Copies of this chain bind each other. A is one copy, B any other.
């Protein structure tokens, strides 16, 4: 790796030898890092497989990301396509298959820096929405990459509200074709990945019209580029939507359709079919399709959201153990910035959140697997709950992790602002997760709608799903904590979270009812409550996350020190949430002012405790230097040498391109005077 080359200036590189300030952090770990890694992976065998995948990917120069921060959008795109093509070869070489145990580690090992991700969505749509005949035709072609697929749903003027899509597909009985159009500029497809420059085919979502009647949104397979020379097909205008905050490697595209004709067979017809005479036939239950969309929100959490936060924590915490600035004690050496309480208060709650969300992700995965089994048995009872949980947690986790990455970036001062720290690209990428697969506010309102409904049902004595049974048991007690140590009891803080979630749900339900009873129309009343409904949905998810973390800790084996440190992190996660939202807990006096001072004291105490294990706790995430791609976060902590070596490779380190034309004329006739 070129980064490791000895630079002339360093007079014998120190890279590779661990910075003593970082080494000392590892000597005092209170737990076994290797065992914690295995816990996170789900077992030592999983760790072994993951490491083997990482090793295979990272030792292959085609997959290198070292130059990424220096590349243009065009270069990033080309590299991503190259990697996607090479990956096929690599998988074959390594004997990895889509159903094998290695598969889930590949994307993580590539840090998502690869093209044709939408090709997989294209395939999934066909598998889920297509008839057996359609699956038999298209899936083998896609699997062998004999076409490149995309997924064209979002339009310039339409995202969240699918019913509002304006693209039309009119059935022409005479020719047995659908005629597709994007009749207005706002109907133009906009954002689909892999579509700007690569895709040959896409699944277009359009309003189906038969004999002048609209049947709503349906999916159609449309070829957009020639398989011969990649030129655009007749009636197609398509291209790249230009620069974004990140995702330079993806050719997000636009697509205009002008009287594009496709055969009747290209409407995906597992659930709805148009017969040759124009008869529209609905068949089967779409609920499983609905379930699939819901699972996407869960599936993105791990790779797109948790991994970036864990990387950001690794970078910022290692850097904070190495960076020395100002003096804590007069006369002493400058202090590690990790020793400042304010720095701990920035970083350690993010670390605790990374663990909390890792465990809630396990919980959700497990729940969704169960849901899937039920649905296969034609039992759809769990669907509303799964939808509410996936919506709420997608929103809460993406929001929390985005904020966490930003905190990590800012906690590294100026160096965090350099792309070479790795932090800016983590931030600019993770922030998109707050928007895609459902805008967060809208998702939280869907969770809130479920909560209100269940709250009403529970109070009417009707049964409600397990995750919301607590809404029935409104208690008006007070928090029983007597001293600050009581707030290290999971029962105490879990109960407090539950109390707040119930209070926010019930008070908003009451407001909603009051408004409606006072004559406000239902939809207006709902709109007037949405700010508070969002709060209730967040409180619900926060409660479940805390409860789940506490339950997870309880189940951990007590040896190797892991349970103890996880308990500290669980406490920190819970108390940080209270400390950052004191009003929610103080409002009705459930926690008193005196108790809140105890929370604060316990919370600040915990920072100093966890600080001791901070570096081992990020080491346990087990990121390689190449996967972090950060001058600040490397395992050896040789921050300054890495920054300097790397910066020298920047394309901006050539003679000033402005010299001959601008600087020379400005300066030149002044030599004699200086």
User: Which positions in A face B, CB cutoff 8 Å?
Assistant: 9-10, 69-70, 72-74, 77-78, 81-82, 85, 115, 141, 144-148, 154, 156-161, 164, 185-186, 188, 190-191, 196-198, 200, 223, 227-228, 230, 237, 239-245, 251, 254, 256, 323-330, 334, 339-343, 345-346, 406, 409-410, 413-414, 416-420, 424, 428, 431-432, 434-436, 439, 441-442, 445, 521, 523-524, 527-532, 534, 581-589, 593, 596, 600, 604, 640-641, 643-644, 646-653, 655-659, 661-664, 666-668, 670-671, 673-674
A-B CB proximity, top 6 nearest? A582-B583, A242-B650, A146-B670, A583-B583, A81-B658, A197-B656
Within the assembled complex, what's the spacing in Å between the Cα atoms of A432 and B412? 12
**By the criterion CB–CB under 8 Å, are B230 and A640 in contact?**
no
Of B410, B587, B640, which is within 8 A of A435 by CB? B410
Of B159, B243, B327, which is within 8 A of A414 by CB? B159
Of B339, B647, B661, which is within 8 A of A240 by CB? B647
The contact sample of 16 A-B pairs, CB cut-off 8 A, is: A74-B652, A81-B663, A141-B673, A158-B325, A164-B326, A164-B334, A185-B644, A223-B674, A239-B648, A242-B419, A245-B428, A342-B441, A342-B530, A343-B441, A531-B604, A587-B596
Within the assembled complex, what's the spacing in Å between the Cα atoms of A588 and B582? 12
Of B154, B417, B534, which is within 8 A of A245 by CB? B417
User: Which residues of the partner chain B approach A528 to less than 8 Å between Cβ atoms?
Assistant: 341, 604
**By the criterion CB–CB under 8 Å, are B432 and A417 in contact?**
yes
> With contacts A242-B420, A406-B406, A586-B587 known, what are 12 further pairs, Cβ within 8 A?
A9-B185, A159-B414, A196-B652, A243-B652, A244-B418, A251-B656, A339-B527, A417-B431, A581-B583, A583-B585, A586-B586, A587-B593
Within the assembled complex, what's the spacing in Å between the Cα atoms of A43 and B604? 50
| A432 → B minimal CB distance (Å) | 6
**By the criterion CB–CB under 8 Å, are A646 and B230 in contact?**
no
Of B74, B157, B160, which is within 8 A of A326 by CB? B160
Within the assembled complex, what's the spacing in Å between the Cα atoms of A328 and B227? 45
**By the criterion CB–CB under 8 Å, are A243 and B419 in contact?**
yes
User: Which residues of the partner chain B approach A589 to less than 8 Å between Cβ atoms?
Assistant: 593
User: Which residues of the partner chain B approach A200 to less than 8 Å between Cβ atoms?
Assistant: 667
**By the criterion CB–CB under 8 Å, are B658 and A77 in contact?**
yes
**By the criterion CB–CB under 8 Å, are A147 and B191 in contact?**
no
**By the criterion CB–CB under 8 Å, are B240 and A650 in contact?**
yes
**By the criterion CB–CB under 8 Å, are A242 and B671 in contact?**
no
Within the assembled complex, what's the spacing in Å between the Cα atoms of A651 and B72? 10
**By the criterion CB–CB under 8 Å, are B673 and A146 in contact?**
yes
User: Which residues of the partner chain B approach A436 to less than 8 Å between Cβ atoms?
Assistant: 414
| A203 → B minimal CB distance (Å) | 16
| A281 → B minimal CB distance (Å) | 27
**By the criterion CB–CB under 8 Å, are B227 and A662 in contact?**
no
| A151 → B minimal CB distance (Å) | 15
**By the criterion CB–CB under 8 Å, are B410 and A434 in contact?**
yes
When C-beta atoms are compared, the residue in chain B nearest to A664 turns out to be B230
When C-beta atoms are compared, the residue in chain B nearest to A641 turns out to be B185
User: Which residues of the partner chain B approach A521 to less than 8 Å between Cβ atoms?
Assistant: 329
User: Which residues of the partner chain B approach A74 to less than 8 Å between Cβ atoms?
Assistant: 651-652, 657
Within the assembled complex, what's the spacing in Å between the Cα atoms of A589 and B594? 12
Within the assembled complex, what's the spacing in Å between the Cα atoms of A328 and B674? 71
**Given that A589-B593, A652-B251 are contacting pairs, would A647 and B242 also be in contact in the complex, using a CB cutoff of 8 Å?**
yes
Within the assembled complex, what's the spacing in Å between the Cα atoms of A286 and B643? 35
User: Which residues of the partner chain B approach A523 to less than 8 Å between Cβ atoms?
Assistant: 328-330
**By the criterion CB–CB under 8 Å, are A640 and B186 in contact?**
yes
| A632 → B minimal CB distance (Å) | 12
| A625 → B minimal CB distance (Å) | 18
User: Which residues of the partner chain B approach A77 to less than 8 Å between Cβ atoms?
Assistant: 652, 656-658
User: Which residues of the partner chain B approach A230 to less than 8 Å between Cβ atoms?
Assistant: 655-656, 659, 663-664, 667
Within the assembled complex, what's the spacing in Å between the Cα atoms of A160 and B323? 12
User: Which residues of the partner chain B approach A673 to less than 8 Å between Cβ atoms?
Assistant: 141, 146
| A300 → B minimal CB distance (Å) | 15
User: Which residues of the partner chain B approach A596 to less than 8 Å between Cβ atoms?
Assistant: 583, 587
**By the criterion CB–CB under 8 Å, are B587 and A242 in contact?**
no
| A267 → B minimal CB distance (Å) | 17
**By the criterion CB–CB under 8 Å, are B662 and A243 in contact?**
no
**By the criterion CB–CB under 8 Å, are B670 and A141 in contact?**
yes
Within the assembled complex, what's the spacing in Å between the Cα atoms of A256 and B7? 14
Within the assembled complex, what's the spacing in Å between the Cα atoms of A586 and B588? 10
| A144 → B minimal CB distance (Å) | 8
Of B329, B345, B647, which is within 8 A of A254 by CB? B647
User: Which residues of the partner chain B approach A256 to less than 8 Å between Cβ atoms?
Assistant: 9
Within the assembled complex, what's the spacing in Å between the Cα atoms of A481 and B332? 52
When C-beta atoms are compared, the residue in chain B nearest to A144 turns out to be B670
User: Which residues of the partner chain B approach A529 to less than 8 Å between Cβ atoms?
Assistant: 341
Within the assembled complex, what's the spacing in Å between the Cα atoms of A586 and B581? 11
Within the assembled complex, what's the spacing in Å between the Cα atoms of A648 and B243? 11
User: Which residues of the partner chain B approach A145 to less than 8 Å between Cβ atoms?
Assistant: 666-667
When C-beta atoms are compared, the residue in chain B nearest to A188 turns out to be B644
| A67 → B minimal CB distance (Å) | 11
**Given that A81-B662, A582-B587 are contacting pairs, would A652 and B197 also be in contact in the complex, using a CB cutoff of 8 Å?**
yes
| A644 → B minimal CB distance (Å) | 6
| Max count, chain B CB within 10 A of own CB: residue among A240, A418, A524, A666 | A666
| A306 → B minimal CB distance (Å) | 20
| A669 → B minimal CB distance (Å) | 8
Of B157, B334, B531, which is within 8 A of A640 by CB? B157
When C-beta atoms are compared, the residue in chain B nearest to A649 turns out to be B242
User: Which residues of the partner chain B approach A164 to less than 8 Å between Cβ atoms?
Assistant: 324-326, 334
Within the assembled complex, what's the spacing in Å between the Cα atoms of A69 and B244? 9
Within the assembled complex, what's the spacing in Å between the Cα atoms of A644 and B253? 11
**By the criterion CB–CB under 8 Å, are B237 and A652 in contact?**
no
**By the criterion CB–CB under 8 Å, are A644 and B157 in contact?**
no
